[in-house]
A and B are shown apart, each in its own frame.
Chain A
Amino acid sequence: MNKRSHSIAFWAAVAVFLVAVLSMTQIVRNEYPFFAGYVILQFIALAVAWSILGGYAGYVNFGTNAFFGVGVYTAVALFKATGAPLVVQIAAAAVVGMTLGFGVGLLTLRMRGIFFSIATIALAIIIETFVMNWRFVGGAAGIQIQRPPVMAPFDSYVKMLFFVQAVLAVIAVAIARYIQNSRIGRGLQALRDDELAAECTGVPTLRLKLVACMTSGALISAAGAPAAMYLQYADPSSAFNLSYSVSALAMALIGGTAHWIGPVLGAILLGSTQQLLAVTISSEVNVLVLGIMLVLFVVGAPKGIIGLLRPRYRLRAGGKP
Chain B
Amino acid sequence: MDLLLGAVVLGVLLGCFYAAVSVGLSVAFGLLDVPHVAHPAFLVLASYGVFQLNESYDIDPLLAGLAITPLFFLFGLLAYRVYYETFERRGSDAGVRGIAFFFGIAFIIEVLIILQFGVDQRSVSATYIGKSWRFGEFRIPIRQLVAFAVALALTVLLAMYLSKTFMGRAIRAVAQDEEALRLMGANPVRIKQFAFGIATAVLGIAGALLIIVAPVEPTLDRAYIGRTFCVVVMAGLGSISGTLIAAIILGVAESIVLTLFGASWAPAISFAMLLGVLAVRPQGLLGR
A residues near B, CB below 8 A? Answer: 54, 58, 60, 62, 107-108, 110-115, 117-119, 121-123, 125-126, 128-130, 132-133, 140, 242, 246, 249-250, 253, 284-285, 287-288, 290-292, 294-295, 298-299, 302
Contacts of B103 in A (CB 8 A): 60, 62, 117, 246, 249, 294
B181 at the interface (CB under 8 A from A): no
A107 touches B97 (CB 8 A): no
Per-residue contact bits, chain B 105-124, to A (CB 8 Å; 1 contact, 0 not)? 10110011011000000000
Query: Contact residue range for chain B?
Result: 35 or more
B68 at the interface (CB under 8 A from A): no
Identify which of B101, B112, B274 contacts A119 (C-beta below 8 A): B274
Within 8 A of A (CB), among B14-44: 29, 35, 37
B residues near A, CB below 8 A? Answer: 29, 35, 37, 82, 86, 93, 95-97, 99-101, 103-105, 107-108, 111-112, 114-115, 219, 222-223, 225-226, 229, 233, 264-265, 267-268, 271-272, 274-275, 278-279, 282, 285-286
Q: How far is the CB of B90 from chain A (nearest CB, A)?
A: 8
Contacts of A117 in B (CB 8 A): 35, 37, 99, 103
How far, in angstroms, from A113 to B86 measured CA to CA in the complex? 17
How far, in angstroms, from A129 to B37 measured CA to CA in the complex? 21
Q: How far is the CB of B97 from chain A (nearest CB, A)?
A: 5
Contacts of A113 in B (CB 8 A): 35, 95, 99
How far, in angstroms, from A129 to B275 measured CA to CA in the complex? 15
Closest A residue to B106 by beta carbon equals: A291
A-B CB contact pairs (8 Å), 16 listed = A62-B103, A108-B278, A111-B282, A113-B35, A114-B35, A114-B99, A117-B37, A121-B225, A121-B226, A122-B272, A140-B264, A246-B104, A290-B107, A298-B86, A298-B104, A299-B86
Contacts of A246 in B (CB 8 A): 103-104, 107
Contacts of A242 in B (CB 8 A): 107, 219, 222
How far, in angstroms, from A187 to B115 measured CA to CA in the complex? 44
A-B complex: 4 closest residue pairs judged by Cβ atoms: A122-B271, A114-B35, A129-B268, A294-B104
B274 touches A112 (CB 8 A): no
Closest B residue to A241 by beta carbon equals: B219
Known contacts A122-B271, A299-B82: A133-B265 contact under CB 8 Å:
yes
A114 touches B275 (CB 8 A): no
Known contacts A249-B100, A249-B103, A292-B108: A58-B95 contact under CB 8 Å:
yes
